[in-house]
Structure 1
């Protein structure tokens, strides 16, 4: 009786074990959930060991499944790296780079950073997923993620992702003409503000710098949105004051469609960071992107210095 498992079966088992969800594992493997279930059932039947406990609501590893996963996963990683290292023999690297970004980072850097990387390495497939909530990039199958520095897990390696950015309080000229402009961040409690709601349901406290001291203001307003692009649209329509990444509103500020207030109280600039697991080996696609990003940052710094 044949008890060996094929490479495809092992990859499918690892995908299911990673997600503990057939639909998500099927999306990763680009097959149907029924195909995954059928493949795994055949493997369990052939080897005579149950690897997963399945109910209508949940999927979990059996004790044997956990032991099997710990045994084969390092070997599968080594095998994938061995295949990936063949890129060193090609004139142009190949592979797939999977990134998870906040929507604001994608809006800022799609044209200036991500697409140029794609043009530089045409044989590397770039898969970008946007999410403003925290994502476990390892469990979700991403090579790397992008977040603000304070949101990055301590066990990750991180490098700057593009230049630093700053926030700005914006409004339409009509809004300012009708209601006036705040002169100090504490005045914001008397104005209608567009709330920025995080995926957790918590509203963002607007951050300022008052005489070199950090200042947070919990603003008030009846409109809550969850991303800068929509807040810029709403502010342009006169819905209230909004706190957004300045670079995303720069064209409208330059055209006069929007105006900035409280600029003298702007908090120190911050920036996005690319982060990835602190392991010794990376895929060729990720190594190429890290090198490209370092050069991008260095070129920007050199231009800023001249």
Structure 2
């Protein structure tokens, strides 16, 4: 292999993963021009184009898809071998790549990530947040961070924190103008802040009580796809919101928001870090998991 071959392979995988040259260059710590040259050099030696390039988008060609599908697992094995060697160091060093939902990342950032970096200054944590579920192995991540119920069954999961609950909330001023709902059916007479799932489908508010489960198609003239925007909207008095309890705990304690339908929102399993079974565990991931268990995050 050409002496710069591994760099070129990592460049191709990063562009495929990030769907663009600029974000891939940031991930790899390279200039965009150097990254583009690396990809072009590999394409020239292969005699085939790996990417369709336009001014607005970058996508894999058919040959590129086949190439990435075979090279990706091989590069994961190479990274694993490298990690196995460096794990003999007294302290871990390298990069820990985690794919997470934004809310999940925010929940663990201060108690876990900041403490991890304090203890292991030779480690870099690269956290990518997005709503969609991905194949963390195919896209080059060491681990994922999601609500436990969303973790694929073939993954090893490490629970983080206590069970979670959803909360239906609005401002005190909103309830001065509207009666508090006593059951999910009452939501039909309220202004609700609706949610859209990462796949584009509308989210139906979920409720359960004494074995009865309901999914409500709530009314409302505002549809959002980010919990933080929903929190801003409910604080502004737009209407009722259905959010994870963690997002609204401070507002409830301070009296800025009022909770309703609490008996219809039972607890469910909280967050989990997950990673593939049957592969060498990088030293950086191993100590991250150890720290989760040590801190017993709540």
Distance in 2 between the 1:14 and 1:138 partners?
14
2:9 pairs with 13, 18, 37, which one?
A: 13
Q: Identify unmatched segments of 5+ residues in structure 1.
A: 301-306
TM-score w.r.t. the length of structure 2 is 0.84
Distance in 1 between the 2:229 and 2:63 partners?
46
* Match in the other structure for 2:47: 50
CA drift at 1:22: 5.8
Inter-CA distance 111–61: structure 2 relative to 1 (3 Å threshold): same
Distance in 1 between the 2:6 and 2:183 partners?
61
Inter-CA distance 41–88: structure 2 relative to 1 (3 Å threshold): closer
* Match in the other structure for 1:179: 178
- Does the CA-based 8 Å contact 1:16-1:22 persist in structure 2? no
Distance in 2 between the 1:41 and 1:238 partners?
53
Q: Tell me, what secondary structure is at the counterpart of 1:252?
A: helix
Query: 1:253-272 counterparts in 2 under 5 A?
Result: 253-272=252-271
Inter-CA distance 258–88: structure 2 relative to 1 (3 Å threshold): same
Q: Identify unmatched segments of 5+ residues in structure 2.
A: none
Distance in 2 between the 1:89 and 1:141 partners?
23
Distance in 1 between the 2:99 and 2:69 partners?
25
Inter-CA distance 279–12: structure 2 relative to 1 (3 Å threshold): farther
CA drift at 1:241: 0.8
Aligned length: 291
CA drift at 1:218: 1.2
Of 216-225 and 11-20, the range deviating more from structure 2: 11-20
* Match in the other structure for 1:60: 61
Distance in 2 between the 1:43 and 1:257 partners?
57
Inter-CA distance 73–99: structure 2 relative to 1 (3 Å threshold): closer
* Match in the other structure for 1:295: 294
CA drift at 1:38: 2.9
CA drift at 1:44: 5.8
- Does the CA-based 8 Å contact 2:76-2:140 persist in structure 1? no
Query: 1:276-295 counterparts in 2 under 5 A?
Result: 276-295=275-294
Query: 1:95-244 counterparts in 2 under 5 A?
Result: 95-244=94-243
Inter-CA distance 74–204: structure 2 relative to 1 (3 Å threshold): closer
CA drift at 1:279: 3.1
Q: How big is each residue's C-alpha offset from its partner over 1:134-186, in whole Å with a ceiling of 9 and x where there is no partner?
A: 23323333211112234333332222132221111111111111111001111
Q: Tell me, what secondary structure is at the counterpart of 2:61?
A: strand
Of 73-82 and 9-18, the range deviating more from structure 2: 73-82
TM-score w.r.t. the length of structure 1 is 0.82
Query: 1:63-78 counterparts in 2 under 5 A?
Result: 70=70, 76-78=75-77
- Does the CA-based 8 Å contact 2:84-2:280 persist in structure 1? no
Distance in 1 between the 2:152 and 2:95 partners?
24
Inter-CA distance 237–76: structure 2 relative to 1 (3 Å threshold): closer
Of 144-153 and 251-260, the range deviating more from structure 2: 144-153
